[in-house]
Amino acid sequence: MLKILRRNYYFTYVLLVLSAAAGFVLALHLHPGQQGEQTLSTIGIMLLLASAPYAFHYYKKQVEKLKRESAENQMRKIVNVVNVRLAIVCVPLMYNIIVYYLTASVSMLFAAAMSVLILIYIKPSANIFTKDLRADEDSETEKTEEK
């Protein structure tokens, strides 16, 4: 089971969503009203915390792939990685907004803080890519000058 989870990123996210949905139904059934909202807030926070390591792992793999590819493709693919990162961050945040109807303010603040932390700590350093590109351009100009 763990090998399947490690290999298939989307399957893991499906399991996370299913567990969140089961928790949502259970919370509504057991605690209607104010307590239900608090339980839902807790489930949302747990979903955010659970999805952060998977987001980090997936994003790290994407950056490693970019480093292996040629310099021409790197700049084009950086945009895709940034879009993936934003989607990974925004999906749990939108989940909180839709499910809680903006009533669980503590949960929303925590979700926003987690999203900002994910954006700060997982973003790729632009210097890495620009240095690689400059190094490739310098080596190409040296080769043409030698010829």
**Residue range 29-45: mean pLDDT, rounded:** 60
Q: What is the pLDDT of residues 59-117, one digit of tens each?
A: 677 667 766 666 556 666 665 665 566 666 666 666 655 555 555 555 556 666 666 66
Please state, for a pLDDT cut of 90, what percent of the chain lies above it.
Answer: 0
**Structure confidence at residue 107 (pLDDT):** 57
Specify the number of domains making up the chain.
1
Q: How many CA atoms lie within 13 A of 130 on its CB side?
A: 3
Q: What angle in degrees, to the nearest 10, is found between the helix axes of 105-122 and 71-100?
A: 170
**Structure confidence at residue 110 (pLDDT):** 65
At 15, is the secondary structure helix, strand, or coil?
Answer: helix
- Residue 96 belongs to what domain range? 2-146
